[in-house]
A = this chain, B = another copy of it.
Amino acid sequence: MEFRNVLAKRRMVRNYTSDPLSRELVDEVAAAALRAPSAGNSQAIVVVVVTSEAKRLEIASVADEQSYVDAGFDPWISGAPAHLVLAVSEKIYRDRYSEPDKLGPDGGEIEWPVPYWWVDAGAALMAILLAAVDRGLGAGFLGVHSLPELSRIVGLPDDFQPIGVVTLGHPAPDRRSGSLDRPHRRPDEVIHHEEWTE
């Protein structure tokens, strides 16, 4: 699909048909994460693909899906045929920036004015969300609040921190998030020229 169309079509899909996805297709979408940049080429993102029903139900449970369903929303987590758990290791960045070519002016590890591991995780997330659209699928993203539980479910090592779950499947009609009632910011509110202007 044309990039412009992929970008224009991307939205959080919060309901899926029960059609299963081939492992190959899910892996193609997940592999988009490898095309995201990382500070110092740290490459510290991992994706755990979950398709087993037992684990998907467990993830839906720690995300408290039932409260969404009770509020009239679709069971978009348990109903997604694949979950992609994204995680990143701050430690890998710190180790990378302890290598000789990355030390700060004082010879020690730099200060991190911005925790670039989160920024890079967001870049990988966006690559995955767009790749899903390109493959004719829909994706959602859930920043689970019980992240330690999510870590346990997929067995992440201690130095990896999950950022949440990408739900993946064939789109079904869904109830929109209430957040989408907030007005969409216009380009002239987001893009400034030469310097900030109100």
Contact = CB atoms under 8 A, between A and B. Distances in A.
Given A2-B2, A46-B192, A48-B195, 4 more contacts: A55-B194, A115-B118, A126-B126, A154-B192
Interface in A15-37: 23, 27, 30-37
A1 to B, nearest CB: 5
- Interface size, A (range): 35 or more
Nearest to A31: B187
Contacts of A182: 41, 43
Interface in A106-129: 110-111, 113-116, 118-127, 129
Contact of A157 (B8, B50, B114, B196): B196
Nearest to A130: B3
Contacts of A184: 34, 43
Identical copies of this chain, number: 2
A153 B196 CA distance: 10
A133 B37 CA distance: 14
A112 B133 CA distance: 29
A163 interface: yes
Interface string A141-172: 10101010000011111001101100000000
A48 B193 contact: yes
A191 B131 CA distance: 15
Nearest to A23: B193
Contacts of A10: 35, 37
30 contacts: A1-B3, A2-B2, A3-B6, A3-B134, A7-B127, A10-B37, A27-B191, A30-B191, A33-B191, A34-B187, A37-B141, A39-B143, A40-B179, A43-B190, A46-B192, A48-B193, A49-B194, A51-B193, A51-B194, A114-B118, A118-B122, A122-B123, A123-B123, A126-B126, A130-B130, A153-B195, A154-B195, A155-B195, A157-B196, A160-B196
